[in-house]
Amino acid sequence: MQNIDLFKEQISSSSPKKIVITTHHKPDADALGSSLGLASYLKKKNHSVTVITPSDYPSFLNWMKGNDEVINFEAPGKSEIAKELIREADLIFCLDFSSLKRLIDMGEYVKASKAKLINIDHHQDPDDFADFNYCSTEAAATCELIYDLIYKIGDIELLDQDIAECLYAGIMTDTGGFKHPNTTKNVHLVTAELIALGADNSKIARLIYDTNSLNKLRFLGFALTRRLKILEESHTAYFSISKKDLRKYASQTGDTEGLVNYALSLDGIKIAALFTERKDGVKISFRSAEEVEINKFAASFFNGGGHKNAAGGISELPLDETVERFEHLIKENQHTLYNQLEIINEKN
């Protein structure tokens, strides 16, 4: 945020505004938690607030307060309502993404709106599309930034258990359950405050991680047995999942979430990928260990980006050609990718 006072003035309860909050395609816990947490807070400040997501999201997030009122832009009959709200809004919050591309079809309407755009995000290299920015790559999660922002505004007393649980969920998942290197002292301090506000950490972990369907677990077994390929020399492992595979296991949104981490968990593996064939192309999830900057690779070759160790991208080639291209690119760029790694390996 360039000027916190200016921002504070925008959301002052003395001048109620029409506010839309949106987040990236296929929202995760940080995207939805930050959106719903912020929405509840802004409602307490007398604003009229709607959360609009560009797509559906996993059902293990449905417990969040405000979920019932979320408008899914892709749901039948909802896009016209969403477009109207976007057109009429005074403020649009863009949470947990750094480029309007990540709104897919909704992006053009947000861009065309007369509303002031506010970007709150923790990704690298944000595009310059907003009127206000509260962005920091130091933050582990957008939910952490929402907490910090409300704190700086001096509104901590407006937080309650429901808001705390939304924010806790995003921090928990974006730190990989407080495991990733982004788990800073501030993460623990904020999390402690959220627990003090009533966030039930154990309940949230259960709701998010332990509500698998049997199909999802069977699919995991299938993917691990039949769809995992290892490129030993490149310290790389990847899954490639076809539409047919997804159909066979009646896959739901969210069922492939976390799969890529199994590839990275293999001893000696430093780069992991998951290729999923979707109706509009191949969606790719990348993960890396230590110094390997996989977001740069995703941005250079797969029209994507993200964080140093967790990134994503897309490919318009068929699944098999995408995978072939990936294998080729990994080998070709091994030197750059593993530059840091080689140094690490030499030390060990």
Which lies closer to Mn ion via its Cβ, residue 145 or residue 269? 145
**304 lines the binding site for ligand 5GP (CB under 6 A):** yes
The letter for the amino acid at 297 is F
Residues 93-132 that bind Mn ion (CB under 5 A): 96
CB contact at 8 A, 284 and 312: yes
- Kindly tell me which residue out of 39, 270, 306, 323 binds ligand 5GP, with binding defined by CB under 6 A: 306
CA distance 161 to 65: 10
Nearest 5°: the CA angle 239, 251, 80 is 115
- CA 135/CA 130 separation, integer angstroms: 11
141-170 residues near Mn ion, rule: CB under 5 A: 142
Provide, rounded to whole angstroms, the least separation between the CB of residue 347 and ligand 5GP: 28
Complex with ligand 5GP: residue 12 or 261, whichever CB lies closer: 261
Interaction partner, residue 123 (ligand 5GP, Mn ion, none; CB < 5-8 Å by kind): ligand 5GP
Say what the alpha-carbon torsion angle 52, 53, 59, 60 is, to the nearest 10 degrees: -90
Q: Does 33 bind ligand 5GP (CB under 6 A)?
A: no
- Do 1 and 93 meet the contact criterion of CB atoms below 8 Å apart? no
Judged by CB under 6 A, the chain residues 113 through 172 that form the site for ligand 5GP are: 123
- Residue 40 or 99: the one with the smaller Cβ distance to ligand 5GP is 99
Contact with ligand 5GP (CB under 6 A): which of 33, 54, 58, 312? 312
> Residue 121 binds which one of Mn ion, ligand 5GP, none, with CB within 5 to 8 A depending on kind?
none
Q: Where do contacts with ligand 5GP occur on this chain (CB under 6 A)?
A: 99, 102, 123, 285, 304-307, 310-314
Q: Where do contacts with Mn ion occur on this chain (CB under 5 A)?
A: 30, 96, 142, 174
